[in-house]
Each structure stands twice: as structure tokens, then as C-alpha cells.
Structure 1
């Protein structure tokens, strides 16, 4: 029995020695926690991985390829005909006709086709830019939610520790006869409510994690580092500058401008459709009896008859251009309203953030400390401590919420201004 114990101790000592040697040799290295996630890092991940960027890029390549051949001439036509009965007849030459022809469009048509195609290339390019801006906004907005919920959970857990201590103190006072049974019960009720709030926060955080992983094309349950924090910007460009930047740089306006230019070129093409195209031809007519007359050259003109169809086509193209310009004007008005609204919401959120940071957090902390000090000396009421703790939590959560709201409205302003003012709006932002 003693031998068995000695052997067991020997094995344990040997194992401990091996672990110590491994640790000293560096073979056992604790895994470092992942670096905190920043808003710009998330934007970069989303722009690299999101499949819609590849789709928009492919669409732009397709438009560019179409533009390269937009002004190309139609393929020449080669024709051949034969008189079947002349084949094998020794009394006549074999009757056949060989011809080639090329259609030349009316001057100006090819240039207009190329101009129309290049406008569509511009529309695709601005569409890609618009999609990148939308994804950056979605990533920043989701990041703010991720950071807010992570910080709110940490505060909630700290509050639960405070309440557990309060429950223990209240139970001790009740057992000693210096408190009532209601005091530990009230503290336990508040603790349970905090646990319920924790579960709600965890559910919301899981939903945000899924949203972020969808944006960066990762599995829904993929691990996500904690947020580094919500960046703070205390000043922004003036409202007039923001509105001017939105009207000048918003990619959706640029898309409509490019599409309107394409529609203008289409209208000009419809007008030129009334002008005839020219077809040049050269033929060898083997059915003619004399050799000098068998080689022939010719010209043919299309006859644009029936002006009503050309008038209708021109009117249709003009209406499309008018519709696009009206749509642009409407969007410009809505952008101005959106910028004004986002700016007002940012000012309200930033003022609230400063109020929480400069005044309310300090007052709530002093109130909580005073209530705890009074209760620890055997005076005061446990409900006063619970109320002070509840108010402290509300103030700190409100501070986090105001930070989140301010950052999300800045992200919205960055979206509306098309990236021109990102450096003045978003801390960490890169083009």
C-alpha cells in the first residue's frame, strides 16, 4: 500500500517536473487574447469579403467591355449564289455570284453609341462606389451596437456583483435583528431583474454578431473580438458644408447623372435614326456573258419611311431623360432633408453624451456612494441603496447609448456626404 502511494507521488512529481520544464522552455504558451476590434478594421473586413462588391465590380467590367466595342462597325457580309442548272452544262459557264458588303452608319451615330456606353460605365462605377459606402455605413452602425452591448453587459455584471454583496449584507443584518426580512428580498428581486436584463443584452448581442458576420461573409456563429470602444467626435463641419457635400458627392446622384447622359445620347441616336445608313458592296457576277462586266461595285441606302415610329422613339428617349433628371432633383431634396435630420440627431446625442460625462455620471456615483455608506453604518434603507444603484446603472447605460447614437449618426452623415468629409466625421476613417 505504501509502495503504491510512493509510486503515485513519484508519477505526480515527474509530471509536475515535466510541466515545469515545458513552461520554462516556452513550449506551453498561453494564448493571447485577440486584439480588440475597431470600427475601421470591421469596415476593411466587410469591404474585402462582402460578395456584393465582387458583383458590382463584375457589372462594371461588363459595361467597360461593352463600351470598347460600342462604336464598332457591323460585320461585313459575304454572299454567294449559284445557278444550279448551269453546273455540269458544257454549253455555258457555271453561273455564280460572289459578293461582299459593308454598312456604314450615318456620321455621328458611332460616336453617340460610344458616348452612351461610356455613360453607362460611369453609372456602374458610381454604383460600385455607392455600394461600398452603404457597406461601410452598415459596418459602422453594427460596430456601434456591438461596442454598446459589450460595455452594457460589463456594467450589468458589475451591478450584479454589487447586488450580491448587498443581499449578503442585508441577510446578515436581518439575522442579527437589525434589519427586516423585506430588505434581502428586495435586493434579490433587483438582482433577478438584472439577470433578466443580462439575458436580453446577450440575445441582442448575438443578433448583432450575426449581422456583422453576414456583412463580412463569415459563419453566423463565428467568434468576434470585443470592440475597442466607440470613437468620439465632438465637432463636425457646419450644416451648410455637409449639405453641399451631399449634393456634390453622393454616389446615387452621380449614378442618375450618368444615366441621364446615356438617355441624352439615346435621344440623339433616335433623332439620327431618320438619316439613312450607307451600304457599300462589291460583287462578282459570274452569270453575265462578258468578263469585263462581271465585277461590279454598288451603294445602297436605307429608307427611313414612316416618321411616326421615329417620332415615338425620340419622344420615349426624351421622356426617359426627363424622368431621370426629375428623379435626381427629388433625391437631392431628400438628401438635404436627411442631412439636416442626421445633423440634428447627432447634436442631440452629443449634447447628451457630454451631459452624462461631465455631470450625471459624477452625481449618480456620489448618490450611490452616499446611500451605500449610510446603509453600511446601519442607517438608511436598503431600497434607497437599490434606487441609487438603479439610477447609477441608468446613467452609465445612457452614456453608452448616447455614444452609440452619436457615432451612428456620424456614420449616416458620412454615407450621405459620399465620403468627401469622412476624415472630419469618423475617427479612424480611411478612404
Structure 2
């Protein structure tokens, strides 16, 4: 066997090993890396459970809702009564020096006062407070839905970055092997030195990409930790898998449109605002009528109470221009709340349509990549590898085939992450998981 034949034999053996390696790499995205069970992040549910307990933004919204609920009792309560004490004729007609003792003055009047609003005003104030509490609760739920969507999207992005890093590392290993093949062919005089150099350049570029991916992961983990209420540098478990997408039959726009109208937290909050504004308008019209103050007055003469009085006081609603302005203000606020409700519903349904279309596109794109483009890219690479071993194509053609596999797999991972992000937005609009 000549030296050239020996070199060709070694190159062929290396090529066959590479073909087996490529087949293994193309079989899937990669083997999951096991993470510490104590750390959140293995799946999105662990992140959501942690955030529900520790996210400070959501905690603030819950406390605001609790505060609004307590205002219901305050709004419907009567104001505290007042006690007034009057010492009459403290010198008893000049017979004595001034005295502050009730038994030594001419008389002492004790007045117990209670303010009473016009009939129905207390009930309206209580109903307004209840509706505002419902709105605060809706805003808390809406805040959580937004936080959960951000966590789900960030988790999908982190999964994409981790899988991209793993893919880049696998392709880097493949390029090292291709470099060895090129070195063998160069040593045998079957290829130019440029092939070896190009393989090395490709590896250098991949090292740069790994640095960029590592930096992006660091930034994303910091944002995730902020959503979880954890220190920015706290460790997170490696994401293992994405959630399965719902069956397309469950993503019918008409059915989900009705759910959005009934369950969306922001719409519920806006509806509560409209109702509360309507009650405020009724209260503004009731301000045309006076409020009362009733009083019970025992009068003490020296050491005995010998006289009892009753009193009624009311305010006179003479400032009609002020009241008409208040009524017009209430009407305008009600119209504004109704317009805001309509605009919110329109915007949410537009977002629902957009995200459902995006979710369907991501699903179909992933299926196309997995079942068509990726197998085609694998076949192209195998053909290019065999042709390069036989000297029928140059190294640039082999690199192009390798890039096609890499791009197909990266595109598939990106489509999976995009589907998860779209699903998170749909669930945010629904206010519940699908």
C-alpha cells in the first residue's frame, strides 16, 4: 500500500466516524443536563411558584387590593359623633369669680351631635368602595398575569440560549474533527492548506459566539431573578424542557374571544371602574339634597340635669352651579371609563388574534424544520462529506453544508421558543393557563 493510499484510508475512516457523529447530533436538540432540585428553573412551573410567593411587585398589588377591600367598611360607616360641652354664665351674674366647675356655673349644656347623610348616600359610597375593591383585585390578577407571561417568555428564551450554546459546542467539536480530516488530506497532498485554516477560522468564530451566548444568558438570568425577587447573581437550574403546546382545536379564536371578555383581569378591572363611576354619578346627583346633623342636649343646673333639648341641623344646597359642575364631571368620567373599557377590549382582542396567528406559525414552522429541512440538511452534509473525501468538492462546500445543519437546528429551537412566548401572551390575555 502506498503512502497516498494509506492517507486516503485514514481520511475515509475519519470521514465515516464523522458521519456517525453527525447522525447522532442531528437526532435531537441535545441531552438535558440535570439540575439541582433545590433550585428553581428546571421547568417554568417552579419559577411561577417561586415568583407567586416572592415577587415584590405582585406582593404590592395584593396589599393594595387588601387595602381597597378594607375601605368598603370605612365608606359605609357613619362619621364619629361629636360631644360639645358649654359652660353658661361662669360668673353667675357677677356673684362669684369665674369658675369651670359645672356645679358652680349658671348652667352646663352637653350636646351630642351625629351627622347623617341624605337617604341612600351611605349605600352608594359603600357600593363604590366595593367596586373599587373589585377593580383593585382585578389589577392584582392582571399584574400577576403580566409577571407570569414575562417569566414564561424569559424561560423560553433561556432554554433557547442554553440549547444554542449546546449546539454551538457540538458543532465546534465537529469542526475540530473536520480540521483533522483536512490536515490528513493536506498531509497527503489531497487538499490545500487553506482548508485547515478555514476550519480553524470557523472554530474561532464559534468561540466568539459561545462568549456572546454566555453573556446573553447572564443578562437573562439576572432579569429572571428580578422577576423572582432573588439576587441578580443567584443560581438557577438549567431549563430542561418546554411545555407542550395546546392542541390547535383549543386555540379557536371565537371561543378564546369569549373567554377574554369574561376572564381577562384588565377587562374586569375596567368594568368595575365603569360601574363605580356610574355609582359616583348617582352620588353626585344625590348631592342636590342636604345632609343632616341631629343633636341630643341635656342641660345641667348646678348638680342636677333639669332640661332636655333636641336639635336638627342641615346644610342648605344653595351653590347649584357647583353641583351642576360636579354632575357634569361625573358624566364625563363615566363616558371616559366606558370608552377606556371599549378601547381595552379592542386592544386585547387584537393582541389575541396576533398571538394566535404567531403561535400557529411557530408550530407549523417547527414541524417544517424538524420533518423537512433538517433531514434535507443532514443528507446534504453527508453527501458533501463523502464528496470531499473523494476530492469531488472543495472544503467551502463542506462548510456550507455544515452551516445548513446548524441553521436548521437553531431555527427549530427558535421556533420552539417563539411558540412558548406566543402561548405565554395568549395565557396572559386569558388570565389562566391553557
TM-score range, shorter chain: 0.7 to 0.9
Q: 1:78 to 1:337 in 2, by over 3 A?
A: same
Of 282, 286, 294, the match for 1:280: 294
SS at match of 1:86: coil
Partner of 2:82: 77
Matches of 1:40 and 1:373, distance apart in 2: 46
* Secondary structure at the counterpart of residue 183 of structure 1: helix
Q: Identify the residue that residue 172 of structure 1 maps to in structure 2.
A: 184
Q: Does 1:406 align with 2:419?
A: yes
Partner of 2:221: 209
Q: How far apart, CA to CA, are the structure 2 residues paired with 1:53 and 1:205?
A: 25
Secondary structure of the residue aligned to 1:85 is coil
CA distance in 2, matches of 1:41, 1:321: 42
- How many residues are aligned here? 388
Q: Does 1:140 align with 2:152?
A: yes
Q: Select the residue among 200, 219, 236 that pairs with 2:231.
A: 219
1:120-159 to 2 correspondence within 5 Å?
Answer: 120-159=132-171
Aligned pairs (5 A) from 1:9-408: 33-35=35-37, 37-82=42-87, 83-86=89-92, 89=95, 94-233=106-245, 234-235=247-248, 236-286=250-300, 294-408=307-421
Identify the residue that residue 9 of structure 2 maps to in structure 1.
none
> Deviations for 1:169-213, whole angstroms, at most 9, x for unmatched residues?
212221222211111111111112212222221111111111111
TM-score (ref. length: structure 1): 0.85
Structure 1 segments of 4 or more deviating over 4 A? 90-93
Runs (5+) with no aligned partner, structure 2: 1-33, 98-103
SS in 2 for 1:416: helix
Q: Of the two structures, which has the highest relative contact order with CA contacts closer than 8 Å and spacing of 6 or more?
A: 2
Q: Tell me whether 401-410 or 195-204 shows the greater mean CA deviation.
A: 195-204
Q: Deviations over 1:331-358 (max 9, x none)?
A: 1111121111111111211111000111
Mind listing any 5+ residue stretches in structure 1 that lack a counterpart? 1-31, 424-431
Give the direction of change, closer, same or farther, for the CA distance of 1:211–1:291 in structure 2 (3 Å limit).
Answer: closer
Taking structure 2 as the reference length, the TM-score comes to 0.85
The match for 1:416 is 429
What is the RMSD computed on CA atoms of the aligned residues? 2.1
- Tell whether the 8 Å contact from 1:116 to 1:265 is kept in structure 2 after alignment: yes
Superposition deviation, residue 89 in structure 1? 3.1
